[in-house]
Amino acid sequence: MMTAWSYVIDSMPLQYHEIVDFVLDQGSKVSPRGDPTIEVEDVTIAVRRPWYALPTGTGRQLNLAIGAVEALQLIAGTARPQLLKQVSPNFERLFEGERMYGMYGDRIGNQLNHVVHKLLHDPDTRQAVITLWRPDLDNDPGHKDYPCTLGMQFRIRNGRLCMSTVMRSNDVILGLAYDVFQFTQLQLTIANLIDVDCGQYNHHVFSLHLYERDLRLAQSLHRGTEQNALVGVSGVDVWDVRERARKLLDDVPLEQPTYTEMWYREQLDKATARARDRE
CATH superfamily of 5-278: Thymidylate synthase/dCMP hydroxymethylase domain (3.30.572.10)
**For 108-158, what is each residue's pLDDT tens digit?**
999 999 999 999 999 999 999 999 999 988 888 888 889 999 999 999 999
Residues 180/148, Cβ–Cβ less than 8 Å: no
Length of the chain: 279
As a whole number of angstroms, the distance between CA 116 and CA 278 comes to 41
**For 59-115, what is each residue's pLDDT tens digit?**
999 999 999 999 999 999 999 999 999 998 888 888 788 888 888 998 999 999 999
**In the prediction, which pLDDT does 34 show?**
93
As a whole number of angstroms, the distance between CA 42 and CA 27 comes to 11
As a whole number of angstroms, the distance between CA 27 and CA 217 comes to 16
**In the prediction, which pLDDT does 276 show?**
78
b/e 258-267 (16+ beta carbons within 10 angstroms → b):
bebbebbbeb
Q: Among 23, 194, 60, which residue's Cα sits nearest to residue 118?
A: 194
Q: Is the dihedral of CA 99, 103, 107, 113 positive or negative?
A: negative
Residues 205/216, Cβ–Cβ less than 8 Å: no
What is the average pLDDT across 22-31? 96
